[in-house]
Amino acid sequence: MITKDSLNHNDIEQFAASLAHLDQTVKQLSGRTFNFSNNLVIFPKAMLSRISIGKQAMFHGVCHSDHFAFTIPSNNTAIRVNGIQVNADNSLYIMPPSEEIVALFEQELNGYHFSIESKFLAKHIGHDLHSSLIHKSEIVRSGKANLNSYQNFKKQLFRNIDYSLKHSDSLSEMAVLDIQCYIANAIRILFKDDNNELKKTSIPYNKRHAIVTRALEYINSSHDIYVSIPDIAEQCFCSIRTLEYAFKQLLSVTPKQYLTIRRLYMIRQDLVSKNCNNIAQLLSLYGVVNQGRFSKDYFRMFGEYPKNTLKSR
């Protein structure tokens, strides 16, 4: 069975939902309307898509336990994954099953995203390489893996995804199987000369990634409107200064800025729900003192004022 879809929207939650193989939260970190497009086709063993993200965004979550996911920019967009810069020329943004990822898309992104069933991939690349990709994915993302054929891999992959999107209505079952097998084998060929090096290379402990993921888990699991930075630092077993360094390195925002963005999203969610009819009361509940300044911040983030959100629900 083949499923095809094309999404063009400004709702960041809808974009996250369109990537069903990822369990993640997405937050817009820059102002004005978030625009995206996601043209995708879903095969039995793989999902292929061409994506465009028009604003700086942060992704936090995991790939489902039965899938590998890959994101490859077609432009030179900077992607920071767990605090490590992913270079479009020699690094592959890979999300193995169940690894917790904090990814920052710092600029507009145009590129390709695909996922492939983990067991299907293991069958084609071998369990040894499959295991290496799971446990050494950070090495691949950092550019330390020797991917000599990476540029050719990208070129052929882009061509296959474009072809699949264009001809999805007329593809036979055999053609779909061939495309899925081709992608799996392309991954095998990409890493065939580097698997031994992957196994030898050790991964240093990423302290700042651990701090930020622990902080985000605490913030997202908290039902309190007010979450203090000292409380977050205490939960992360670090000083406030270390917490700030970690956030700046991974997300390019301070903890205070992140909490401000979180509050904007929480208020927006309440505005679009049918439980809120009074903006002033809602802002008072969230501790907003200067409603005029808040309205400007809200407009800067979402491209509309709170009253517009309330009217459009």
271 pLDDT more than 90: no
Q: Is 93 in the same domain as 67?
A: yes
pLDDT in tens, 12-61: 777 777 777 788 888 877 766 667 778 889 999 999 999 888 777 888 88
At which of 158, 178, 200 does a domain end?
Answer: 200
Does the pLDDT of residue 195 top 60, yes or no?
Answer: no
Q: What is the pLDDT of residue 32?
A: 63
Instruction: Please check whether residues 304 and 161 belong to one and the same domain.
Output: no
* pLDDT tens sequence across 140-184: 888 887 787 888 899 999 999 999 999 988 989 999 999 999 999
Region of poorest pLDDT, from 10-14, 65-69, 252-256: 10-14
In the predicted structure, residue 105 carries a pLDDT above the cut 70: yes
Same domain, 172 and 219: no
Residues 147 and 99 occupy one common structural domain = yes
pLDDT in tens, 82-95: 888 888 777 889 99
Q: Average pLDDT for residues 101-130, to the nearest whole number? A: 90
Q: Residue 1: its pLDDT value, please?
A: 63
Counted domains in the chain:
2
287 and 173: one domain?
no
pLDDT (tens digit, 9 = 90+) per residue, 277-307? 788 888 888 888 888 899 988 888 888 889 8
Question: What domain range is 65 assigned to?
Answer: 3-200
Residue 68's pLDDT is 94
Query: For residues 57 and 29, what is the distance between their CA atoms, to the nearest angstrom?
Result: 5
Global pTM exceeds 0.95: no
Please give the Cα distance from 133 to 300 (Å, whole number).
41
**Predicted confidence band at 70 (pLDDT cuts at 50, 70, 90)?**
very high
The pLDDT, as a whole number, for residue 77 is 77
User: Given 150, 174, 200, which residue is the final one in a domain?
Assistant: 200
In this structure, what token pair is assigned to residue 263? 């509050």
Nearest to 2 by CA among 49, 38, 44: 44
Tell me what the pLDDT averaged over the chain comes to. Answer: 85
pLDDT at 118 over 90: yes
In CATH, what number is assigned to the domain containing residue 172?
2.60.120.10
What is the C-alpha to C-alpha distance for residues 60 and 81, in angstroms, rounded to an integer? 10
* pLDDT for the residue numbered 176: 92
How far is it, in rounded angstroms, from Cα 66 to Cα 122? Answer: 11
What is the rounded CA–CA span in Å between residue 11 and residue 8?
9
- 167 and 269, same domain (yes or no): no
Q: How far is CA 9 from CA 27, 261, 262, in A?
A: 15, 20, 21
So what's the pLDDT on residue 255? Answer: 93
Q: What is the model's pLDDT at position 69?
A: 93
pLDDT at 177: 93
Residues 58 and 191 in one domain: yes
